[in-house]
Every structure is written in C-alpha cells, then in structure tokens.
Structure 1
C-alpha cells in the first residue's frame, strides 16, 4: 500500500505500490515513481521525471524535468540537480537534457549534478561534490570539480 502524507501534493497517478511520500512533497502530474520508494519531506518532483523502484530521496531534493533515476538509487539530503546549461528567466529550452542516475548509485548530501550527465551503476558521489562530467560505473568521486578517487569493488562494505 502506498503511503501519502495528508500534507503532500501528489498530482501524479503513476506512483508504485509501497512507496512512502512524506509531508510537504509536491509531485507533478507527469512524474512516474516506482515501487517501494521513500520520498522524504520537502521534495519537489517535476513532470518529465522517472524514478525507479526502491529509490530513496532524502529531504530537500528537487528532481527536475529530464531526470531518469534507475532502481536502488540513494539521493542524499539537499542534493541538487540542474537541467538547463544556460538558464535565463522565462526562457526555456525546447527540450531539457537527460540526466541519468544508473542502478544502485548513491549521491551524497549537498552534491551538485550538472545537466545531461550520467552517474554510472553503483557509483558513489561524495557529499558536497560538484559533478561536471559523467561518472563511470563503480567510481567514487568527490571534490569541486568532482574527481575519481578510486573504483569500488565487491569487497567494499559500502556495496553490501
């Protein structure tokens, strides 16, 4: 059973079974959210957003048009996604670039992800990182701009 807090504004009919949506969340009509997700308080999800199954979105995150989030992704508190490379007031691109967060990836608290990038499968973005380039699968990145520190393997406790 899906849980929707009475103070959430959920306009989308495409919310998967078992997903929990907390207070002060806004989900626009075109968004698609998978099964068994947890959307924490004070999140905003725009129309052209797809979220997979078992995704955790912590407090204070906005998911903008063009974002594709695969299954089993963790998005930390106040992570920031962008979808317009050259934003101007009241001037929108014909189409927003697609940003992909692949299966099992983790985005740390306060990280910034620029538009049109791919965060690879099971990659980890450190807290506060500013991601300006694609992140390969299983890479651990942090810093400003984010740089690869090492690659994670099956022996890493963070992947169990």
Structure 2
C-alpha cells in the first residue's frame, strides 16, 4: 500500500480524503472516502460508494456500486462485494447516541457477498465463503460456506474456484483438482 494516491485513478467527481490508497486502485464517480480509511492495491471502488474512517480494504477487492462501508469493517484480500451490499456497525442504533466502539465486521480473504445482502455488525464472513444475493447475515459464516436466505443459513460449501463441493466420507475433490476435508463443522483445503 502506498502512502499517497499518486499511482491510482480517482475520478474527478470522487472525494478522496485519504492518502492511504494502493497502487493501481480505481475509484469512480461519486465515491467519498474519509481520511483514515486504508485501501490496498488493485482495488476497484465503483460509483456511489462511501467509505468511513475505521475501514481497511485489502488488495484486489471489488466494491460494486452503492455500498457504504462504515467504521469497524475490515475487508481482506480478493473479496468481491456485489452491488448495494449493506454493512451495519451499530447493533442497537439510536439517533445521536454513539457507542464507545463499533462492532468489528471481518470479510476474510476470497469471500464473495452477493448483491443487496445485509451484513449485521460483528460478524465474520470466512475465507472463500459465498453469501447469496439478498441474504441477511446475522451470525458468522465459516470458511468455504455457501450461505443464503433471511437469515442466511449454510446451504453447502464451495471451492476457491466457486464450484459447489460434494462431500463423500467427509472429503471432496473439486473439478478444478483442489481437495477438501470436512471435520467438526469445519471445511479446510487439503494440500497434497
């Protein structure tokens, strides 16, 4: 991450107050980024987004249009956020009543969140997890889980390549060749 935004593209109709933007990041029209936000390399922040101060966005992240990322949201590398994903940061909001700190929401490496999903504050979306469009996430979603609905529930598991995994005797081999095991409610990739 560079200490200035000289090596990224900022649309002339964007307001970018932070200097903590990585190389080759693109920030499009009507985006407003506050001064303390940190954005990694090779990100794409699409039109009509707002990014608050206590926000970290890793490398290679796609933030589609209409997303507001509030204080307390931490997004790791290679994450996809579909259009109009909603993050909350206050579980008990009241006008003019401010919590001492906001709930920390973490979207882990490689996760994808479908359009119009709501992520309630304080939850973790696991590595390579997929949240289906229109879902409401009210609890943590584990690594590789495919979750959707209101509230979002685990409906299966997916490979890093996004193919759905079929477990036989607690093991799965994806069509791409990656291997996984399922044990004690946790999916992990087998390195062979």
Tell me which interval the TM-score lies in, with the shorter structure as reference length. over 0.9
| Alpha-carbon distance in structure 2 between the residues aligned to 1:10 and 1:34 | 14
| Alpha-carbon distance in structure 2 between the residues aligned to 1:155 and 1:37 | 20
- Does the 8 Å CA contact 2:110/2:160 hold for their aligned counterparts? no
Report how far residue 38 of structure 1 moved. Answer: 0.0
| Alpha-carbon distance in structure 2 between the residues aligned to 1:152 and 1:38 | 24
| Alpha-carbon distance in structure 2 between the residues aligned to 1:66 and 1:151 | 27
3-state SS of 1:14 partner? coil
Larger relative contact order (CA 8 Å, sep ≥ 6):
1
Unaligned segments of structure 1, at least 5 residues? none
| Alpha-carbon distance in structure 2 between the residues aligned to 1:144 and 1:15 | 35
Q: 2:181 maps to which residue?
A: none
- Per the alignment, do residues 22 and 154 of structure 1 end up closer, same or farther by CA in structure 2, a change over 3 Å counting? closer
Report how far residue 151 of structure 1 moved. Answer: 1.0
5 Å-filtered alignment, 1:78-117, equals 78-117=84-123
Task: Count how many residue pairs are aligned between Structure 1 and Structure 2.
Answer: 160
Runs of 4+ in 1 over 4 A off after TM superposition: none
| Alpha-carbon distance in structure 2 between the residues aligned to 1:3 and 1:100 | 26
| Alpha-carbon distance in structure 2 between the residues aligned to 1:75 and 1:85 | 21
Aligned-residue RMSD, C-alpha: 1.4
Unaligned segments of structure 2, at least 5 residues? 1-6, 165-173, 177-192
1:135 aligns with 2:141: yes
- Greater radius of gyration (CA): 2
Q: 2:41 maps to which residue?
A: 35
Q: 1:20 maps to which residue?
A: 26
| Alpha-carbon distance in structure 1 between the residues aligned to 2:76 and 2:161 | 23
Q: 1:52 maps to which residue?
A: 58
3-state SS of 1:15 partner? coil
TM-score by length of 2: 0.81
